[in-house]
Amino acid sequence: METGEIPLETLPGGFDLQATVESGQTYVWSREDDRMFEDTLAHGGDAWYSTVVPEAVTGGAPAVVRARQHDGRLEWEAAVDAHDHLVRLLRLDDDLDAIMAATPEDPLLDAAFDRYRGMRLVRDPSFPCLVSFICSAQMRVSRIHGMQERLAREYGTPVEFDGATYHAFPTPEQLATATEVDLRDLSLGYRAPYVARTAEMVATGEAHPDTARSLDYEDAREFLTQFVGVGEKVADCVALFSLDFLEAVPLDTWIRTAIADHYPDCEGGNYAETSRAIRERFGGDYAGYAQTYVFFHLRTGGET
DNA sequence: CTCGGCCCTGTCCA
DNA sequence: ATGGACAGGGCCG
């Protein structure tokens, strides 16, 4: 096992591991203490979290990475040198101070940024991100998380680490072997055929979410909606949480409520129009950061 | 392009 | 105990 630590005090804008991985933007991390991801962060912030870096990223075997925030450092244990993986997955390369400075002054944004100072966006591997947000339709955080764990256990490559067995998220090829009925048995409900079809599309080479990286933001969102089960909202989630489009603002029910209550002039006739207006209001290039803070602030009972 | 009906399922609450 | 509302949408006509 390799170990290491990343000092956090010099990191611009700081870091909050628990808020980052439990805020509903990523479903590839789990708590080592097996506590569920709840709707609020009730359980203290120095727990160990783990993820399995997929083979598509390592270029070799999937690699278990474990990390916890403790005493001003991000400590890690892994099968490989995990430093670069952690920087990439947890966006430790973002200058959070600069991002907040580039975001307009606004009572709601200020309150949201204050409440979870140090929370960062994530940079998930694209296929797991795509599948988990297809599963997110009309679903709570803890249940989405449960679905992803069942998919990994059932179809993912088992990986031994530190005396325990972990499971990588299934590759497109592995997941494409699942039938709609198989996935309904894992409680995916009406999302089962969407996941099966999308896995098949990626496995056969019909389309890959990474292709959207080379497009302009709005074209990328449009490109991503070709996957079955992916509308504009889910496409925005994949663009923001995996493909580095930090300007993407997923219009979920929480943000729609915030728009109605705080920015009614941003309500356009359709998704694209509203999205453009609120993106502008949130400062443009890093509007997705503002969205994620506001979303989490409101979802966890923040005053409006 | 917009609209409404419909979809699985666990949890919460009357 | 038990039924209806609800939860971070998308598909189809």
Contact between the CB of A190 and strand C at under 7 Å: yes
Q: How far is the CA of A143 from the C1' of C4 (A)?
A: 21
Strand C, nucleotides covered by protein (CB < 7 Å): 7-11
Asked whether A10 and A113 are in contact (CB, 8 A), the reply is no
The string of pLDDT tens digits covering residues A20-55 is 999 999 999 999 987 767 655 655 668 999 999 999
Contacts of residue A190, Cβ cutoff 8 Å, sequence gap at least 6:
none
Q: Provide mean pLDDT across the span A153-171.
A: 96
Q: Provide mean pLDDT across the span A147-155.
A: 95
Determine which one of A31, A233, A279, A281 is catalytic: A233
**DSSP per residue, A66-90:** EEEEETTEEEEEESS--HHHHHHHT
pLDDT of residue A145: 93
Contact between the CB of A189 and strand C at under 7 Å: no
Q: Would residue A117 show up in a list of annotated catalytic residues for this protein?
A: no
Contact between the CB of A190 and strand B at under 7 Å: yes
Whether A262 shows a pLDDT value over 70: the answer reads yes
pLDDT of residue A75: 98
The string of pLDDT tens digits covering residues A167-183 is 999 999 999 999 999 99
The string of pLDDT tens digits covering residues A220-247 is 999 999 999 999 999 999 999 999 999 9
- Alpha-carbon distance of A67 to A31, in angstroms, equals 10
Q: How far is the CA of A115 from the C1' of B14 (A)?
A: 34
The string of pLDDT tens digits covering residues A64-114 is 999 999 999 999 999 999 999 999 999 999 999 999 999 999 999 999 999
Whether A281 shows a pLDDT value over 80: the answer reads yes
pLDDT of residue A40: 57
Which pair of structure tokens corresponds to residue A64? 């278990």
Contact between the CB of A252 and strand C at under 7 Å: yes
Asked whether A29 and A145 are in contact (CB, 8 A), the reply is no
- Alpha-carbon distance of A239 to A250, in angstroms, equals 9
Whether A196 shows a pLDDT value over 90: the answer reads yes
Domain range A126-230, its CATH number among 3.40.50.2300, 3.40.50.300, 2.40.50.140, 1.10.340.30: 1.10.340.30
